[in-house]
Amino acid sequence: MKLHYRKLGSGKPLVVLHGVFGSSDNLFTVCRNIAEKGYEVYILDARNHGQSERSEVFNYEVMAEDLDRFLSENGISAPVILGHSMGGKAVLQYSQHYTNFSGLVIVDIAARAYPCHHEHIIRGLQAIDTSTLTSRKEAEDIFSRYVSDAGERQFLLKNLYRTEDGGFDWRINVPVLAENAGEVVSEVSLYNKVEKPLLLMRGGDSPYVSDEDFEYLKTWYPAARLVTIAGANHWVHATRPAEFVEEVTRFLAEQ
Catalytically active residues are 85, 234
What lies within 8 Å, CB to CB, of 85 at 6+ separation is 18, 19, 20, 107, 108, 109, 208, 234
Continuous segment of H or E residues that includes residue 25: none
Continuous segment of H or E residues that includes residue 28: helix 28-35
Q: Give the pairing type, strands 5-8 and 39-44.
A: antiparallel
User: Which of 188, 186, 251, 191 has the alpha carbon at shortest distance from 224?
Assistant: 251
Q: Cα(4)–Cα(113) distance, rounded to whole angstroms?
A: 28
Q: What is the 3-state secondary structure (H, E, C) of 131-186?
A: CCCCCHHHHHHHHCCCCCCHHHHHHHHCCEEECCCCCEEECCCHHHHHHCHHHHCC
Q: Cα(139)–Cα(144) distance, rounded to whole angstroms?
A: 8
For residue 26, the SS3 value is helix
Q: Cα(78)–Cα(65) distance, rounded to whole angstroms?
A: 16
